[in-house]
Amino acid sequence: MGYSIQPADGKLGILIPGLGAVATTFIAGVAAINKGISKPVGSLTQMGNIRLGKRTENRYPLIKDFVPLTNLKDIVFGGWDVYEDNVFEAASNAKVLEPMLLHAVKEELETIKPMKAVFDKNFIKNLDGTHIKEQTHRRELANAVLEDIAQFKETNNCDRLVMVWCGSTEKYIEHCEIFESIDAFENALDADDRRISPSMIYAYAAIKSRVPFANGAPNLTVDIPALVELAQQLEVPIAGKDFKTGQTLMKTIVAPGLAARALGVKGWFSSNILGNRDGLVLDDPENFKTKEVSKLSVLEEILNADINPELYQELYHKVRINYYPPHGDNKESWDNIDIFGWLGYPMQIKINFLCRDSILAAPIVLDLALFLDLAHRAGMSGIQEWLSFYLKSPQTAPGLKPEHDIFKQLIKLQNTLRHIMGEDLITHLGLDYYQELVDNL
């Protein structure tokens, strides 16, 4: 008895503020996949399976064959950036994908040109773009984005839209009263209050346009009561924040494993080296702060010292990001984990992840876009906690702590899909059919 879901007919427009490394890797990838050159590895919606029924039934369909998702061929792309490079040029500069691959989709990428950005240097010191909107008043900027959205939809003949923030990390800001309610927020917009960040203006315009919104960066953006309220009013699904990739991904894989075995953790030191534009922006302490807060929270929740003080109250957790140009987009992380076991004896785990930042993030953009669109068509709105799986700092309903354990997040995601499609939830208990089998021996 699942939900009734609108079909995924017609075109889906994916609108992206920030056409940098992640966004262009995503767009170029979809183009290459549509040409049959490459595979959408890392995307659950495209390559992931889901088990249905009992283990003995052996039903493992692809997720895309199980739930009605938009076909990759029906996607069109748009976006904004403070630089006027088209997506081919931006992708070339990002140096993530090989020139040969990019050339194979050059035509598709060249036609995608950024709209002028909403930008405020006060939020990102290390950028110097000039392709920015002339308006300076916050309200006028919001209107301009509303206009951009409407026009894009029409020009591209889209049936539906979603927006995913792939812009740079904005500087760290605290919650404050103008973010507390939609009324306060709109008043602040009208008053051109400079505490409203550019990313919030995009998010506001998206929701107002009934366009689902996801935030891939650690800045607050849609993670404020005002915009959550608006999303509920207008029945728009939202999700945030900060794509979960690289080191944090590994952390939310490994930490649950240690906790599963009741192993103690005394220290966790995490260092990163990366040399792309994201790294340059994060080299500014104010912007790093935003990222740091996002990265630090995951361990506390998974290794819950409240519940298990003897194992986790001593935990010392430190995260460093180092701008190191020789590595470009090939972010590399090194973790040292100080654990202890039986009778308190110490052990150490070192993890060295030679990853590629944008390669890990691109499929997340795709999945968030497709799942938000699905949620919208299924009548789900507000914070989509089941998409926590993709996010470093998942938004939750007030009063609930975020779940960071990637395996619990996955079960929640899968059981949500099963639930909306009317399939049985999986508990991994298995005593029932197991006993049957045993009895039949």
**Does residue number 232 form part of the binding site for a copy of itself (CB under 8 A)?**
yes
Quick count: other Cβ atoms within 10 Å of Cβ 110? 12
**Does residue number 296 form part of the binding site for a copy of itself (CB under 8 A)?**
no
Q: Which is nearer to ligand NAD, 153 or 277 (CB)?
A: 277
What x/- string results for residues 98 through 137 when contact with ligand NAD is judged by CB under 6 A?
-------------------xxx----x--x-x--------
Sign of CA dihedral 177, 181, 186, 187: negative
**How do strand 213-215 and strand 75-81 relate by DSSP bridges?**
unpaired
Structure tokens at 440: 């039949």
CA 68 to chain centre: 21
Question: With contacts defined by CB under 5 A, how many residues of the chain interact with Na ion?
Answer: 2
Stretch that binds a copy of itself, among 52-60, 66-74, 141-149, 216-224 (CB under 8 A): 52-60
Stretch that binds Na ion, among 107-115, 178-186, 303-311, 314-322 (CB under 5 A): 314-322
CB of 7 to ligand NAD, least distance (A): 31
Q: Are the C-beta atoms of 362 and 40 separated by less than 8 Å? A: no
Quick count: other Cβ atoms within 10 Å of Cβ 261? 9
**Which of 95, 320, 408, 419 touches Na ion by CB under 5 A?**
320
Four-point Cα dihedral 18, 22, 24, 30, nearest 10: -130
User: Using the 8-state DSSP alphabet, how is residue 384 labeled?
Assistant: -
Residue number of the CB atom closest to Na ion? 271
**Does residue number 336 form part of the binding site for Na ion (CB under 5 A)?**
no
CA 62 to chain centre: 22
Question: With contacts defined by CB under 6 A, how many residues of the chain interact with ligand NAD?
Answer: 36
Residues 6+ apart with CB under 8 A from 133: 116, 117, 118, 119, 141, 144
352 binds, among Na ion, ligand NAD, a copy of itself, none (CB under 5 to 8 A by kind): a copy of itself
Q: Which is nearer to ligand NAD, 83 or 152 (CB)?
A: 83
41 binds, among Na ion, a copy of itself, ligand NAD, none (CB under 5 to 8 A by kind): a copy of itself
Q: Give the long-range contacts of residues 88-92, CB within 8 A, separation 24 or more.
A: 90/19, 90/20, 90/23, 90/24, 90/114, 91/24, 91/25, 91/27, 91/28
**Does residue number 276 form part of the binding site for ligand NAD (CB under 6 A)?**
yes
One DSSP character per residue, 5-49 reads -----S-EEEEEE--SHHHHHHHHHHHHHHTTSS--TT-HHHH-B
Q: Which is nearer to ligand NAD, 66 or 172 (CB)?
A: 172
**Does residue number 38 form part of the binding site for a copy of itself (CB under 8 A)?**
yes
**Does residue number 5 form part of the binding site for a copy of itself (CB under 8 A)?**
no
Interaction residues for a copy of itself, span 366-425 (CB under 8 A) = 382-383, 385, 389, 397-400, 403, 406-408, 410-412, 415-416, 419, 425
Q: Are the C-beta atoms of 152 and 205 separated by less than 8 Å? A: no
**Does residue number 210 form part of the binding site for Na ion (CB under 5 A)?**
no
Interaction residues for ligand NAD, span 138-197 (CB under 6 A) = 166-169
**Does residue number 271 form part of the binding site for Na ion (CB under 5 A)?**
yes
Alpha-carbon span 172 to 279, nearest angstrom: 16
Alpha-carbon span 23 to 223, nearest angstrom: 21
**Does residue number 278 form part of the binding site for ligand NAD (CB under 6 A)?**
yes
Structure tokens at 418: 């099963």
Interaction residues for ligand NAD, span 47-86 (CB under 6 A) = 80-83
**Does residue number 60 form part of the binding site for a copy of itself (CB under 8 A)?**
yes
Alpha-carbon span 392 to 213, nearest angstrom: 16
The SS3 of residue 203 is helix
Q: Which is nearer to a copy of itself, 170 or 367 (CB)?
A: 367
Structure tokens at 315: 């935990």
The CA distances from residue 38 to 23, 32, 89, 105, in Å, are: 17, 6, 20, 11
Alpha-carbon span 351 to 250, nearest angstrom: 9
78 binds, among ligand NAD, a copy of itself, Na ion, none (CB under 5 to 8 A by kind): none
Structure tokens at 158: 């889209």
Stretch that binds ligand NAD, among 11-19, 57-65, 155-163, 332-340 (CB under 6 A): 11-19
**Does residue number 317 form part of the binding site for Na ion (CB under 5 A)?**
no
Interaction residues for a copy of itself, span 298-327 (CB under 8 A) = 304, 307-308, 310-311, 314, 316, 318, 320, 322, 324-327
Residues in touch with Na ion (CB under 5 A): 271, 320
Residues in touch with ligand NAD (CB under 6 A): 17-23, 80-83, 94, 117-119, 124, 127, 129, 166-169, 198, 216-217, 242-243, 245-246, 276-278, 357-358, 360-361
